[in-house]
Amino acid sequence: MALEKSDKIWMDGEFVNWDDAKIHVCAHVVHYGTSVFEGMRVYKTPKGAGAFRLDAHVRRLFDSAKIYRMDVPFTQEQINDAILETVRVNKLEECYVRPVVYRGYEELGVNPFPNPVNVFVAVWKWGKYLGKDALENGVDVCVSTWSRIAPNTLPALAKCGANYMNSQLIKMEAIVNGYVEGIATDTLGYVSEGSGENLFVVRDGVLYTPPLGASVLPGITRDCVITFAEEMGIKLVEQVLPREMLYLADEVFFTGSAAEISPIRSVDKITVGAGKRGPITEKLQKRFFAVITGEADDRYGWLTYV
Ligand SMILES: Cc1ncc(COP(=O)(O)O)c(C=O)c1O
C-alpha cells in the first residue's frame, strides 16, 4: 500500500509541498546512508492530537546525531516546534512522524564533514504496523539467521539509517519464510531485538528484556513498559537472554512506536505459552493504550498536545 501523502513537509525551516520535497541524487546520504532519524506517533485524544513522548524522541534524535558528529543546525526545542507545526499544518488528528537529520549535497568522499547537515520532518497517516489483528492475537515470528550489528561496528544506540540495512535483512528473511517479523540475536547469540522493535519475555510472572549492551535500540516504548512494570509491581529483569528462553516463555511481546505492544504467539513455529496474548502482555497493553489515547491520566507528561 502506497504511503498516504500529506500536504506539507518541513525542510530546513520551510514548509514545502509533499511532491516538491526533494534532495539531490548526489547528496551524501544517498550514497553512504548518512542519516539519523526518529519515528513517533501522534494519537487522537479527547483533548486533541497528542504527540507521544515528543521530548524523548527528539532527545534520541540529537543523541544519534552526536554519535555521528552531526551538528544539527536547530535546537531540540526548535525541532519539537517544527514537529508540532508540521502536524498542525497538515491538519492531522493522528499520524506517524518521521524527522530525519542527514548529510546533504556538497562533496562525495566518504568524509562527511564537508557536507551540510539538513533536517526534514514528514508526517503521514499510518495504520497498525504488524497488521490489524496483531495487537490482539499475536504474530508468528522466527529467529533470524542474521545477527544484530556487532558492538563497536555501527552503534546500536544511534537510530541511524544505515542500521536499517541490517533490519531489512532480518525483515526480508522473515517475510520470505512466511513470518511476520524476525528476532535477531546479538553476535554472541543472545536475544537482541526485532528488525524494528524491542522484545520482552515473561516467565513465571517475571518480565525479562535484553540490556542495552545486547545491540538494542534504547526504545522509548521499552521505557514505557519498564515504567508500567514498576508501577504494577511486576518484577523486571534486564539481562542477556539465551535464545531458548523464547521457546520456554509464557509470553513474549514486541514494543515499538510503530508496533506499539504486539504479542508474539509463536517463535520458529514453537507455540509461546497458550499461543495467544498472555495476561501480563494484556495488562501492559491496556495501560499503554489508556495513556496514549488520553483515557488515563497522563501522570508522566508523555503527551504534548498539538
Ligand atoms: C531497531 C529498533 N529497535 C527498537 C525500536 C523501538 O523503539 P521505540 O519504542 O523508541 O520506537 C525501533 C523503533 O524505532 C527500532 O527500529
Instruction: Going residue by residue through the chain, which has 306 residues, state the pLDDT in tens, using 9 for 90 and above.
Output: 688 999 999 999 999 999 999 999 999 999 999 999 999 999 999 999 999 999 999 999 999 999 999 999 999 999 999 999 999 999 999 999 999 999 999 999 999 999 999 999 999 998 877 777 888 999 999 999 999 999 999 999 999 999 999 999 999 999 999 999 999 999 999 999 999 999 999 999 999 999 999 999 999 999 999 999 999 999 999 999 999 999 999 999 999 999 999 999 999 999 999 999 999 999 999 999 999 999 998 999 999 999
Supply the pLDDT for residue 74: 98
The reported pLDDT for the residue numbered 130 is 78
For the record, the C-alpha cell of 227 comes out as 515504567
Residues in the chain: 306
Alpha carbon of 253 to ligand 1 centroid (Å): 13
| Kind and range of the H or E run holding 172 | helix 163-176
Question: Who's near 8: CB < 8 A, 6+ residues apart?
Answer: 15, 16, 17, 18, 86, 89, 90
CA of 248 to the centre of ligand 1 (A): 24
- Judge whether 34 and 161 are in contact, CB under 8 Å: yes
Nearest-atom number in ligand 1 for the CA of 60 is: 10
Nearest to 101 by CA among 12, 172, 41, 187: 12
DSSP classification of residue 43: E
User: From the centroid of its chain, how far is CA 303?
Assistant: 17
Q: How do 35-37 and 14-17 pair as beta strands?
A: unpaired
Q: Whose CA is nearest to atom 6 of ligand 1?
A: 256
Cα(109) to ligand 1 centroid in Å equals 30
**Residue that is written with C-alpha cell 509461546 in the block:** 272
Measured CA to CA, the distance from residue 104 to residue 150 in angstroms comes to 28
Q: Does residue 159 have an active-site annotation?
A: yes
Q: How far apart are CA 276 and CA 295, in angstroms?
A: 25
Residue whose entry in the numeric block shows the C-alpha cell 525542510: 11
Q: How many beta carbons lie within 10 A of that of residue 291, not counting itself?
A: 23
Query: Separation of 98 CA from ligand 1 center, angstroms?
Result: 13
Q: Which numbered atom of ligand 1 lies nearest the CA of 38?
A: 14
CB 229 within 8 A of CB 255: no
Calculate how far, in angstroms, residue 212's C-alpha sits from the geometric centre of ligand 1.
Answer: 12
CA distance 82 to 130: 28
Per-residue pLDDT at 151: 96
- Residue of 195, 257, 291 to test ligand 1 pocket, by largest number of atoms within 8 Å of CB: 257
Kindly give the number of the ligand 1 atom that is closest to the alpha carbon of 156: 1
Ligand 1 centre distance from Cα of residue 53 (Å): 13
Q: Which of 55, 97, 159, 302 to mutate to test the pocket of ligand 1 (most atoms within 8 A of CB)?
A: 159
Q: Using CA atoms, how far apart are residues 139 and 195, in angstroms rounded to an integer? A: 14
Ligand 1 cavity residues, CB under 6 Å: 39, 167, 193, 196-198, 217, 219-222, 255-257
What pLDDT is attached to residue 129? Answer: 78
Q: 99: Cβ–Cβ under 8 A, 6 or more apart, which residues?
A: 37, 38, 57, 58, 61, 79, 82, 83, 119, 120, 121
Give the residue, out of 57, 170, 198, 255, with the most ligand 1 atoms within 8 A of its beta carbon, to mutate for a pocket test: 198
pLDDT at position 128: 79
| CA-closest residue to ligand 1 atom 5 | 197
Residue 118: all three cell numbers together: 539538513
Q: What share of the chain is helix, strand, coil (3-state, %, to 5)?
A: 30, 30, 40
Residue 183: what pLDDT?
98
List 159, 171, 269, 276, catalytic entry: 159
Nearest alpha carbon, ligand 1 atom 7: 219
